[in-house]
Amino acid sequence: MRLKIVTVGEPVLRQPSRELSKDQVLSPVIQNLIEYMRETMRDAPGVGLAAPQVGESFRLAVIEDKADYQKTFTEAELAERGRTEVPFHVIVNPVIQLLTDATEVFFEGCLSLPGYTAVVHRAAAVRVQCLDHLGEAKTIEASGWYARILQHEIDHLDGTLYIDRMKTRSLSSLENYTRHWKGRPIDS
């Protein structure tokens, strides 16, 4: 079942989400929500989807960066972004730690702000403590694009959107980004 993705202006996107207990994670309600979010993310398509984006104020997100999504990028672009395939997984109640002061700067988009993109600074490497889809404790260390995805989705769980972190003068429609900026250095 595909869920409706809410867009900017919806109050749930601006509120901190509530934590889930292991029992709640294992409940049929949350297990079904995880499956519906997976289908919704893949249908969009996107590389991450947080529960608030489907109107649910839970500290839960699904993430997957399929190789298919990377086919439009050159090897050099993939290397520059540190982008590799990330298998499907769930993060629940994540706590993030930035592992470096170094940042990476790229255009970023969001399923809750369809049709737009902007330049966003993100930490180059992070560690995330969370529960998985079975309520088991996990530690994720990530760098490059995967670190960006984690930061973006965890921001959603805190009521933050990428437009709160963007370089404001870089905001662009996807059409104009493709026409004028795609493939050009960020500093231009």
Mean pLDDT of 37-62: 98
Q: What average pLDDT is seen over the chain?
A: 96
Q: How confident is the model at residue 94, as a pLDDT?
A: 98
- 92 within some domain: yes
In degrees and rounded to multiples of 5, residue 59 shows phi and psi of: -80, 75
CATH value at residue 118: 3.90.45.10
The span from the CA of 54 to the CA of 85, in Å, is: 24
145-177, pLDDT tens digit by residue? 999 999 999 999 999 999 999 999 999 999 999
- Claim: this prediction has a pTM higher than 0.75: yes
51-87, pLDDT tens digit by residue? 999 999 999 999 999 999 999 888 988 999 999 999 9
Q: How confident is the model at residue 77, as a pLDDT?
A: 87
Total number of domains constituting the chain: 1
- 45 within some domain: yes
**Is 153 among the catalytic positions?**
yes
- 159 within some domain: yes
- 157 within some domain: yes
- 29 within some domain: yes
The parent domain of residue 98 ranges over 11-181
The span from the CA of 9 to the CA of 169, in Å, is: 21
Q: How confident is the model at residue 102, as a pLDDT?
A: 93
131-150, pLDDT tens digit by residue? 999 999 999 999 999 999 99
Residue 105 has pLDDT above 80, yes or no: yes
* Residue 76, C-beta contacts closer than 8 angstroms, at least 6 positions apart: none
Query: pLDDT class for 183, splitting at 50, 70, 90?
Result: confident
Per annotation, catalytic residue among 56, 104, 108, 153: 153
- 1 within some domain: no
